[in-house]
């Protein structure tokens, strides 16, 4: 490769996905610093930074892969994830009462994170190969639903209800994009309401039920998540229009918000930067989602297009559920806010998503 | 093949629709933010600055425990702790200095305690001194306003009325340990947290979920200095908050009789050992004592390091419940079981007579009788009452070890009694299979000879012995021992009742029971019986002495006086009994470690417990028996006729003997 080739490659390289994400991450790490600087965990922002840099490296490597390989290895990646999930249940490490990790030497592998991507790739391949020119009805959905349901089941029994349901939610977005007919959409909505009710009745662990109950009625809570919800609301509300200012959070620094650097990071951000800050941050997220949707219409392969929507769905559901949760619109299910919540595995997942998107974007002009 | 680009294009409307839905979702988020931050913002802002919402836990009182005679065994007494809430601590140095003078602690100690808890949230109070006196309480309460951050909390202390009496049986509670936390959360499906008290031994552990209540909580609003406010300032904002009332635990009435328990405890004074008393017709445990003991109250108030180290460094292990967690060779107490097996199998009958001349030879080995000069002519009843070893060696040559094990098992030996207490040990009744599995070797005939007299591999716990003798006393009903008579809710409703559980019912031949019971009766009531000296008055006791050899001795030492041996080499004294022999009500088993003799060390404990029982529950029978004994006018000898009863002797190989023998 000579000098002009390299220059050419850089010119063609789509930096937008990593760029927008890094902007969000910078806000996130400042927020993380602010939320934890007064506690014993004041050094975790360096850990977060390391993880982000690592995720950038991994994402960059992924972006160099030819998009046709994502198609080729989609099922393989998916099956690997399913095997790892099954393995977690057998030999997994326990964290916070749930079995989510496999120890690989010094690394803690959380297969449920990678599964989100594996499921998106497998579903994209299936959707792109089965009459992609026609609208789909309920019968056409049976097989892709099974593809999504197997990992969901394995994740839910870990138990990690939030991530498990996420896979189904991503599946629904992808199916919607792959053109479901109206009748099918109606059936799914009705089915969703009924199965949600049944699952609440029989399938949920006590703490999960309580989270849902807490959402409906915060006073019915026995374990403090209602307390979290109320404190989170106080934090967000007290930020008002302009916020209290950087490092001025009273709710977070007094440890009123027990998970203020993970699930509740957004409420600390709101307390310090107010409505205007939140508007800015949300705008960044919307730009990122918009870029993914733009990608889905710019690529020339239907597989790439569906995958782009699937990857967008991963980001979208994380963001929407987390924000809804901290402001009391949704039950507390413990999904991180992309690039803002503390947590290495999630950063890595999002980095890989961006890598795949970038690779697809770079290949647009090759033909 | 499809035209790929065309395919992408037909999905454009859906992509636009997806984008619009995403936008709508975030408009929803923004409108919620608008509601919280702009519309309600001022209210929340004031609230976050001036007020604090605090969630206080309300400890549920643990259930009380009563004895069968309705005496309080365990209760809850409010005590007070001095605490500091770091969040509200002002003028740190002065406040701590002031507090240290009140509590009789140094400022350094208080600072250290605070430092230890630095990691946790600053609104969580730190306990500075537990169980403060009334005087300290009064001073803190009055000086409270001058020491911001210092306050007092009530603490419900678990107190055991009789201190050491019943410590193993009742157990104790203490704070859940970090290693127990995840395990017990899963097991009980209760969200335990550090600092929660749970039962850690005995009934407190076994029935923890019955005794523990359900903790409650209340939300309180405190001002910037941590002082409670009576009412919420923002009724409308926090109207959704509700408090949870603590539900007290259930109360329990045990089958234990307080006086019998005390009688057993006192008569084991200064000894290392244990006693179990059972109701032979129900399986109710009337007394269950293990010594040395400990004071369970100390655990719930926060154990001092000195007391803890005194407990765990004591080589007599006071924390161990010797009634169920320790097993011993039963010694001659086991002969009763061998006798039953031999009679039932027809190996011996009432006419069988064996001449005992002090030893028995099998192959190259010589098995000794404890009585060096022999017992002379011995029949079955005499073999029990005078505990002749040679009679049983004879049986040992004819009985199959697996057959013996079958009878032992049907009397409850070699398996858990099933009493609802944690960490019961199984004991051991050997079989051929067991030995093969253990070290791959075949069973030797000579080993049967050691087993028939309750030595060698045979191991039993005191509760198993009591259960076995209760089964003999009631004619074959193997009853599971139980401890909980009734469970009441805190409002007095009966929730649960202990039930008689018949594990097994063996129909022994009437003649078997007659002969064995006569032998057991003569042990205590015939002047040549091994426990004659401890027959007591008015109790009509029947029983069997036993001595459990701790280690084997060389030939020249086998007849050495036990008391002259080193303490740890002395035999264990064992005694199992029931009473009255003509209508059995109570069975007891006693083991006194290194007590040398079953008769002198263990039998007095049984005598004491049974006498207390008869006097309290059957005063008429007791009086009648006394009168009868007066009429018979037996002259009680001044010295025991049987001086050195029952010392077991392990077999000695002929080659080991000194030359010339």
Q: Which B residues 105-124 touch A at CB under 8 Å? A: 118-119, 121-123
User: Among candidates B442, B446, B468, B463, which has minimal Cα distance to B455?
Assistant: B446
Tell me what the mean pLDDT of segment B176-197 comes to: 83
Q: Is the pLDDT of residue A221 over 50?
A: no
What are B520-573's pLDDT values in tens digits?
Answer: 999 988 888 888 888 888 899 999 999 888 766 555 566 677 777 888 888 899
pLDDT for A90 equals: 80
ipTM of the shown complex: 0.88
Q: Which B residues 30-59 touch A at CB under 8 Å? A: 30, 32-34, 36-38, 40-45, 47-49, 52-53, 55
- Interchain proximity A282–B26, CB inside 8 Å: yes
Nearest to A254 among B4, B40, B123 (CB): B123
pLDDT for A151 equals: 93
Read off the pLDDT band of A213 (50, 70, 90).
low
3-state secondary structure chain A: CCHHHHHHHHHHCCCHHHHHHHHHHHHHHHHHHHHHCCCCCCCHHHHHHHHHHHHHHHHHHHHCCCHHHHHHCHHHHHHHHHHHHHHHHHHCEEECCEEEEEEECCEEECHHHHHHHHHHHHHHHHHHHCCCCCCECHHHHHHHHHHHHHHHHHHHCCCCHHHHHHHHHHHHHHHHHCCECHHHHHHHHHHHHHHHHHHHHHHCCHHHHHHHHHHHCHHHCCCCHHHHHHHHHHHHHHCCCCCCCCCCCHHHHCCCCCCCCCCCHHHHHHHHHHHHHHHHHHHHHHHHHHHHHHHHHHCCCHHHHHHHHHHHHHHHHHHHHHHHHHCCCCCCCCCCCCCCCCCHHHHHHHHHHHHHHHHHHHHHHHC
pLDDT for B298 equals: 85
pLDDT for B112 equals: 85
User: Measured between beta carbons, which residues in chain B are less than 8 angstroms from residue A279?
Assistant: 30
B19 touches chain A (CB under 8 A): yes
What are B79-93's pLDDT values in tens digits?
Answer: 888 888 887 787 888
Nearest to B37 among A217, A251, A275 (CB): A275
What are A259-316's pLDDT values in tens digits?
Answer: 656 778 898 899 899 999 999 999 999 999 999 999 999 998 999 999 999 999 999 9
**Which residue of B lies nearest to A308 if distances are taken between CA atoms?**
B15
Lowest-confidence region among A231-240, B507-516, B599-608: A231-240
Lowest-confidence region among A304-318, A324-338, B68-82, B372-386: A324-338
What are B529-542's pLDDT values in tens digits?
Answer: 888 888 888 899 99
CA distance, residue A218 to nearest chain B CA (Å):
7
Q: Supply B21's token pair.
A: 């839905």
Tell me what the mean pLDDT of segment B324-335 comes to: 92
Q: What's the mean per-residue pLDDT of chain A? A: 83
B5 touches chain A (CB under 8 A): yes
**Residues linked to residue B362 through DSSP beta bridges, in sequence order:** B365
Decide which of B119 and B271 is more confident: B271
Read off the pLDDT band of B241 (50, 70, 90).
low
- Interchain proximity B14–A220, CB inside 8 Å: no
User: Measured between beta carbons, which residues in chain B are less than 8 angstroms from residue A258?
Assistant: 121
What are A166-211's pLDDT values in tens digits?
Answer: 999 999 999 999 988 888 889 888 988 888 777 766 766 666 665 6
- Interchain proximity A224–B87, CB inside 8 Å: no
Percent of chain A scored above 70 by pLDDT?
A: 81
Q: Which residue has the tokens 């394995």?
A: A154
pLDDT for A193 equals: 86
pLDDT for B231 equals: 53
What are A49-64's pLDDT values in tens digits?
Answer: 999 999 999 999 999 9
Percent of chain B scored above 70 by pLDDT?
A: 88
Tell me what the mean pLDDT of segment B323-328 comes to: 92
Q: Is the pLDDT of residue B296 over 80?
A: yes
- Interchain proximity A40–B119, CB inside 8 Å: yes
Q: Is the pLDDT of residue B301 over 90?
A: no
Q: Is the pLDDT of residue A101 over 70?
A: no
User: Measured between beta carbons, which residues in chain B are less than 8 angstroms from residue A316?
Assistant: 22, 25
Decide which of B214 and A73 is more confident: A73
User: Measured between beta carbons, which residues in chain B are less than 8 angstroms from residue A235?
Assistant: 48
What is the rounded CA–CA span in Å between residue A311 and residue B334? 76
What are B462-497's pLDDT values in tens digits?
Answer: 999 999 999 999 989 999 999 999 999 988 889 999
User: Among candidates B225, B88, B78, B223, which has minimal Cα distance to B153?
Assistant: B78
DSSP SS3 for B637 = coil
CA distance, residue A255 to nearest chain B CA (Å):
6
CA distance, residue A113 to nearest chain B CA (Å):
23
Domain boundaries, chain A: 16-366
Tell me what the mean pLDDT of segment B310-327 comes to: 90
pLDDT for B604 equals: 92
**Which residue of A lies nearest to B34 if distances are taken between CA atoms?**
A275
pLDDT for B361 equals: 87
Nearest to B37 among A270, A285, A323 (CB): A270
What are B421-446's pLDDT values in tens digits?
Answer: 989 999 999 999 999 998 888 898 88
Nearest to A250 among B38, B48, B121 (CB): B48
User: Measured between beta carbons, which residues in chain B are less than 8 angstroms from residue A299?
Assistant: 8
- Interchain proximity B14–A290, CB inside 8 Å: no
User: Among candidates B452, B434, B443, B336, which has minimal Cα distance to B394?
Assistant: B452
Q: Is the pLDDT of residue B59 over 60?
A: yes
User: Measured between beta carbons, which residues in chain B are less than 8 angstroms from residue A308?
Assistant: none
What are A14-72's pLDDT values in tens digits?
Answer: 999 999 999 999 999 999 888 877 666 667 888 899 999 999 999 999 999 999 999 99
CA distance, residue B516 to nearest chain A CA (Å):
57
**Highest mean pLDDT out of A339-348, B177-186, B219-228:** A339-348
pLDDT for A226 equals: 61
Tell me, yes or no, if the pTM score tops 0.80. Answer: no
Tell me what the mean pLDDT of segment A107-136 comes to: 87
Are residues B320 and B326 in contact, defined by beta-carbon separation less than 8 angstroms? yes
Nearest to A236 among B37, B42, B52 (CB): B37
Read off the pLDDT band of B27 (50, 70, 90).
very high
**Residues linked to residue B56 through DSSP beta bridges, in sequence order:** B218
Q: Is the pLDDT of residue A361 over 90?
A: yes
What are A229-270's pLDDT values in tens digits?
Answer: 777 888 888 888 988 888 877 666 554 555 656 778 898 899
- Interchain proximity A220–B191, CB inside 8 Å: no
pLDDT for B657 equals: 36
Domains of chain B: 79-156 (3.90.1310.10), 258-291+320-485+500-656 (3.40.710.10)
Decide which of B515 and B242 is more confident: B515
**Which residue of B lies nearest to A309 if distances are taken between CA atoms?**
B15
User: Measured between beta carbons, which residues in chain A are less than 8 angstroms from residue B36?
Assistant: 233, 236-237, 327
Interface test with A, best of B29, B188, B241 (most A CBs within 10 A): B29
Tell me what the mean pLDDT of segment B297-306 comes to: 79
Q: Is the pLDDT of residue B233 over 50?
A: no
Nearest to B22 among A220, A238, A316 (CB): A316
What are B443-458's pLDDT values in tens digits?
Answer: 988 889 889 999 888 9
B138 touches chain A (CB under 8 A): no
Q: Supply B437's token pair.
A: 């599995």
Read off the pLDDT band of B655 (50, 70, 90).
very low
pLDDT for A164 equals: 87
Decide which of A96 and A285 is more confident: A285
B355 touches chain A (CB under 8 A): no
A36-44, Cβ contacts within 8 angstroms, sequence gap of 24 or more:
A36/A260, A36/A261, A37/A247, A38/A253, A39/A253, A39/A255, A40/B118, A40/B119, A41/A261, A44/A261, A44/A342
User: Measured between beta carbons, which residues in chain A are less than 8 angstroms from residue B54?
Assistant: none
Q: What's the mean per-residue pLDDT of chain B? A: 85
- Interchain proximity A327–B33, CB inside 8 Å: yes
């Amino acid at each position: 490769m000579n000098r002009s080739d390299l220059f050419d490659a850089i010119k063609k390289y789509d930096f937008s996905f990593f760029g927008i994400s890094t902007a969000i991450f910078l806000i996130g790490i400042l927020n993380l610093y602010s939320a934890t600087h007064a506690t014993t965990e004041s050094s975790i922002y360096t850990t977060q930074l390391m993880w982000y840099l690592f995720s950038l490296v991994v994402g960059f490597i992924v972006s160099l892969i030819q998009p046709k390989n994502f198609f080729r290895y989609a099922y393989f990646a998916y099956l690997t994830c399913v095997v790892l999930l099954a393995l977690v249940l057998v030999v997994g490490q326990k964290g916070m009462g749930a079995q989510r990790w496999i120890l690989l030497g010094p690394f803690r592998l959380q297969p449920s994170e990678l599964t989100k991507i594996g499921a998106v790739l497998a579903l994209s391949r299936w959707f792109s190969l089965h009459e992609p020119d026609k609208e789909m009805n309920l019968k056409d959905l049976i097989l892709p639903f099974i593809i999504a349901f197997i990992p969901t089941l394995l994740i839910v029994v870990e138990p990690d209800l939030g991530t498990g349901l996420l896979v189904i939610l991503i599946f629904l977005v992808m199916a919607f994009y792959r053109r479901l007919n109206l009748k099918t959409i109606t059936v799914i909505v009705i089915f969703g309401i009924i199965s949600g009710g049944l699952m609440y009745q029989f399938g949920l662990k006590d703490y999960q039920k309580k989270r849902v109950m807490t959402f409906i009625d915060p006073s019915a809570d026995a374990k403090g998540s209602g307390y979290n919800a109320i404190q989170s609301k106080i934090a967000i509300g007290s930020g008002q229009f302009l916020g209290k200012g950087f490092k001025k959070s009273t709710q977070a620094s007094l440890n009123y918000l027990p998970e203020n650097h993970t699930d509740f990071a957004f409420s600390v951000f709101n307390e310090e930067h107010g409505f205007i800050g939140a508007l800015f941050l949300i705008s960044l997220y919307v730009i990122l989602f918009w870029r993914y949707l733009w990608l889905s219409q710019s690529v020339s392969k239907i597989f790439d297009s569906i995958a782009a929507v699937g990857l967008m769905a991963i980001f979208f559901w994380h963001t929407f559920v987390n924000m809804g949760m901290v402001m009391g619109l949704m039950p507390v299910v413990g999904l991180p806010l992309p690039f803002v919540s503390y947590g290495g595995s999630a950063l890595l997942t999002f980095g890989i998503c961006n890598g795949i998107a970038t690779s697809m974007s770079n290949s647009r002009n090759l033909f | 093949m499809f035209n790929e680009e065309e395919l992408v294009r037909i999905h454009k409307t859906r992509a636009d629709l997806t984008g619009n839905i995403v936008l709508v979702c975030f408009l929803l988020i923004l409108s919620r933010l608008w509601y919280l931050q702009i519309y309600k913002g001022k209210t929340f802002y004031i609230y976050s600055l001036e007020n604090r919402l605090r969630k206080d836990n309300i400890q549920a009182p643990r259930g009380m425990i009563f004895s069968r005679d309705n005496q309080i065994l365990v209760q809850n007494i409010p005590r007070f702790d001095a605490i500091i809430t770091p969040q509200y601590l002002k003028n740190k140095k002065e406040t701590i200095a002031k507090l240290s003078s009140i509590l009789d602690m140094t400022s350094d100690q208080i600072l250290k305690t605070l430092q230890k808890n630095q990691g946790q949230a600053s609104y969580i109070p730190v306990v500075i001194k537990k169980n403060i006196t009334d005087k300290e309480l009064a001073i803190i309460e009055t000086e409270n306003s001058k020491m911001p951050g210092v306050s007092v909390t009530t603490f419900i202390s678990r107190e055991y009325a009789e201190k050491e009496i019943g410590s193993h049986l009742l157990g104790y509670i203490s704070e859940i340990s970090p290693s127990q936390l995840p395990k017990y959360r899963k097991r009980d499906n209760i969200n335990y947290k550090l600092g929660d008290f749970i039962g850690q031994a005995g009934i407190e552990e076994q029935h923890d979920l019955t005794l523990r209540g359900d903790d409650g909580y209340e939300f309180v609003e405190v001002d910037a200095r941590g002082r409670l406010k009576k009412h919420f300032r923002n009724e409308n904002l926090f109207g959704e908050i509700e408090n949870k009332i603590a539900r007290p635990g259930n109360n329990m009435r045990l089958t234990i009789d307080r006086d019998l328990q005390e009688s057993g405890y006192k008569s084991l004074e200064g000894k290392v050992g244990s006693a179990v008393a059972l109701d032979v017709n129900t399986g109710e445990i009337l007394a269950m004592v293990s010594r040395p003991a400990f004071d369970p109250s100390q655990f719930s108030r926060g154990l001092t390091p000195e007391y803890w180290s005194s407990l765990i460094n004591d080589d007599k292990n006071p924390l161990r419940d010797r009634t169920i967690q320790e097993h011993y060779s039963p010694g001659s107490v086991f002969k009763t079981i061998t006798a039953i097996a031999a009679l039932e199998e027809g190996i011996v009958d009432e006419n069988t007579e064996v001449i005992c001349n002090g030893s028995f030879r099998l192959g190259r080995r010589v098995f000794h009788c404890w009585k060096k000069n022999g017992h002379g002519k011995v029949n079955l009843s005499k073999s029990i009452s005078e505990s002749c070893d040679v009679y049983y060696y004879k049986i040992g040559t004819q009985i199959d070890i697996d057959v013996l094990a079958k009878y032992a098992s049907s009397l409850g030996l070699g398996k858990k009694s099933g009493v609802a207490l944690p960490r019961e040990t199984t004991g051991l009744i050997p079989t051929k299979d067991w030995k093969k599995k253990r070290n791959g070797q075949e069973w030797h005939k000579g080993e049967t000879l050691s087993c028939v007299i309750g030595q060698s591999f045979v191991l039993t716990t005191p509760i198993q012995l009591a259960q076995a003798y209760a089964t003999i006393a009631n004619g074959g009903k193997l009853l599971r021992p139980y401890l909980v008579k009734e469970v009441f809710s805190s409002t007095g409703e009966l929730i649960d009742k202990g039930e008689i559980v018949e594990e097994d019912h063996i129909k022994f031949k009437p003649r078997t029971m007659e002969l064995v019971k006569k032998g057991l009766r003569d042990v205590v009531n015939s002047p040549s019986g091994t426990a004659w000296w401890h027959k007591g008055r008015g109790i009509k006791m029947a029983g069997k002495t036993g001595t459990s050899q701790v280690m084997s001795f060389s030939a020249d030492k086998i007849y050495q006086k036990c008391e002259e041996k080193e303490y740890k080499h002395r035999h264990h004294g064992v005694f199992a009994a029931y009473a009255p022999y003509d209508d059995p009500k109570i069975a007891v088993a006693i083991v006194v470690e290194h007590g040398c003799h079953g008769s002198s060390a263990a039998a007095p404990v049984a005598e004491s417990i049974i006498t207390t029982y008869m006097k309290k529950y059957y005063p008429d029978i007791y009086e009648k028996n006394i009168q009868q004994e007066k009429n018979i006018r037996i002259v009680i000898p001044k010295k025991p006729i049987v001086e050195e009863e029952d010392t077991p002797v392990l077999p000695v190989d002929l080659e080991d003997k000194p030359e010339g023998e």
